[in-house]
Amino acid sequence: MKIAFSEISVPSTGTLIVGVMADGALTPSAKDVDERMSGALARAVAASVRFNGKKNTTLLLNAPAGLDLARVLLIGLGKAGEIDKLQLQALGGRVVGGLNKMGETEASLAIDAPDGCPLSLEEMVGEIAFGAHLAAYRFDKYRTKQKEEDKPTLETLTLMSANTGAAEAAAAPRQRVGDGVYLSRNLVSEPSNVKYPATIVEDIEALSAIGIDVELLHEDRMRELGMGAILGVGQGSRRESYIAIMRWNGAENQNEQPIAFVGKGVTFDTGGISIKPSGGMEEMKYDMAGAGAVIGLMKALAGRKARANVVGVVGLVENMPDGNAQRPGDVVTTMSGQTIEVINTDAEGRLVLSDALWYTQKTFKPKFMVDLATLTGAIIVALGTYQAGLFSNNDELAERLTAAGKASGEELWRLPLGPRYDKDINSEIADMKNVGKGREAGSVTAAQLLERFVEETPWAHLDIAGMAWMKRGDDPIVPKGASGFGVRLLDKLVADYYES
């Protein structure tokens, strides 16, 4: 689907989409179109019995006689003073979903707001375009026999406005964030025979074309650095493990201390020797969604030329059972020098992150670190699939993340850390063990292990196990499948608090 921008006119084909306010009035640009249609839209609104312009309501009409276009879709925007960005993203998403269901190929949209709307016309167009882009995502590359009626039909969505140039300019950075979400969704959607550490590394290296510096740590280098935890996870796999580092220096001062994002990239999690049950194991292809989010975020930030210095670090590794795999009871020595008793080889994400976090903190001395990981099934028990778990050693960072979550629609709920949970991971034989007390507070004890690899740096951990894969399909801008969770959230965090 193509998103185009144009002046206001009466479209000559397809569906015309116009906004209606809660008082039944057409929005200014819709009025503009209506004048060229001799008031047919206003008459249609007046004649519709139930439709009243309330937020999120719609009415589909046949186009007034004498015009070339086929249909008119009226969309209620509610009260001007209450219009917000998430509403407009959802609107853009619903338009795309609805038109594809209808089999429409062309649509033109005239939506803005009268005085009193907190957003400018350009911002409104940008958010609608963003939602439309996110909703149009598909991952069809492995379908060779898709039926015509299952294919999306919408070819072009044209956003009409009084100032085409300004609208397009406002929409461009939002589209670049959308591109980051697409990359993340693509990486997570791919099966693990296609995307494994070495092939994900190729996708990361391709980001150098948009100004991202890429550095790789191969297994030899990781061994030199003493990264026994991540290497232990990868040792049962035929595939090489990597840590990949992406740097975007967009701040005015290129030497300014960076901010850092760290992702769990387990490209497939069988559980290792503590093997998972076979039912549903295929889902563990998305156990690299934390890394996918970090990679997508870097693309988004570089794409929109964010004025910030940002480091992205991902630990890429496959967790397999094998004659060379690590065993329950093995003790590994991390880069930090601390030792971990591996009670359960399926609690591997925290092992990967222990070395990745330590490396990030020591190498880049970031202002803060945020890690993202599909870390525990327990977070799904606690929060379901509506919010990700947030753990932090720093209230300001936690508050900013929570606010960015609300503003982006990718929400977080903070859970506790503390010394009583921390002692639950003490080991009899090593500095710590990689599981807590049975099923109790499983997400917290996982986060406690991570915290042992963070010194003074402000840090937050996002457990996204319930968010990485959309099963419900009830969010207009997140189609079923890989969600790209984290890209919009962290782009918002950077935009609102960390750009010069």
Q: For binding to ligand BES (CB under 6 A), which residues are involved? A: 269, 287, 344, 346-349, 374, 376-378, 435, 442, 465
Least Cα distance to 214 among 316, 307, 128 occurs for 316
What minimum distance in Å lies between the beta carbon of 327 and ligand BES?
15
Catalytic residue among 55, 71, 239, 276: 276
- 439: Cβ contacts below 8 Å, ≥ 6 apart: 378
Query: At residue 185, what are phi and psi to the nearest 5 degrees?
Result: -65, -40
Given the complex with ligand BES, which of 249 and 344 has the nearer CB atom? 344
What minimum distance in Å lies between the beta carbon of 218 and Mn ion?
24
The interface mask with Mn ion, positions 199-238, x = CB under 5 A, is: ----------------------------------------
Q: Is 400 a catalytic residue?
A: no
Given the complex with Zn ion, which of 106 and 355 has the nearer CB atom? 355
Per DSSP, what are the bridge partners of residue 372?
A: 263, 462
Among 34, 123, 318, 346, binds Mn ion (CB under 5 A): 346
Q: Is 276 a catalytic residue?
A: yes
Helix H segments across 139-239? 164-189, 197-205, 219-225, 228-234
| Residue 272 contact among Zn ion, Mn ion, ligand BES, none, beta carbon within 5 to 8 Å by kind | none
Counting Cα atoms < 13 Å in the Cβ hemisphere of 343 gives 15
Type of residue found at 66: G
Contact 121, 463 (CB under 8 A): no
Given the complex with Mn ion, which of 195 and 264 has the nearer CB atom? 264
- Residue 232 found at the interface with Zn ion (CB under 5 A): no
**Joined tokens for residue 36:** 């060229």
Instruction: Let me know how long the chain is.
Output: 500
Type of residue found at 440: E
**CA 9, CA 32: separation in Å to the nearest integer?**
8
**Joined tokens for residue 66:** 């004498």
**For the chain, give me the number of helices (H) and strands (E)?**
15, 19
What minimum distance in Å lies between the beta carbon of 463 and ligand BES?
9
- Residue 269 found at the interface with Zn ion (CB under 5 A): yes
Stretches 243-251, 342-350, 360-368, 475-483: which one binds Zn ion (CB under 5 A)?
342-350
Among 32, 34, 287, 355, binds Zn ion (CB under 5 A): 287
- Classify burial at 212, counting beta carbons within 10 Å of its beta carbon; exposed 0-12, middle 13-18, buried 19 or more: buried
For tokens 């980051």, the residue is 180
What minimum distance in Å lies between the beta carbon of 287 and ligand BES?
4
- Residue 265 found at the interface with Zn ion (CB under 5 A): no
Handedness of CA 38, 44, 46, 47 (dihedral sign): positive
- Residue 371 found at the interface with Zn ion (CB under 5 A): no
Site size toward Mn ion, by CB under 5 A: 3
- Residue 269 found at the interface with Mn ion (CB under 5 A): yes
Least Cα distance to 174 among 122, 248, 212, 247 occurs for 122
For tokens 């591997």, the residue is 348
| Residue 465 contact among ligand BES, Zn ion, Mn ion, none, beta carbon within 5 to 8 Å by kind | ligand BES
**CA 406, CA 402: separation in Å to the nearest integer?**
6
Specify the DSSP class assigned to residue 287. Answer: G
What minimum distance in Å lies between the beta carbon of 203 and Mn ion?
23
What minimum distance in Å lies between the beta carbon of 233 and Mn ion?
9
Catalytic residue among 350, 400, 433, 492: 350
- Residue 318 found at the interface with Zn ion (CB under 5 A): no
- Residue 349 found at the interface with Zn ion (CB under 5 A): yes
Residues that bind Zn ion (CB under 5 A): 266, 269, 287, 349
Q: Which residues are catalytic?
A: 276, 350
Residues that bind Mn ion (CB under 5 A): 269, 346, 348
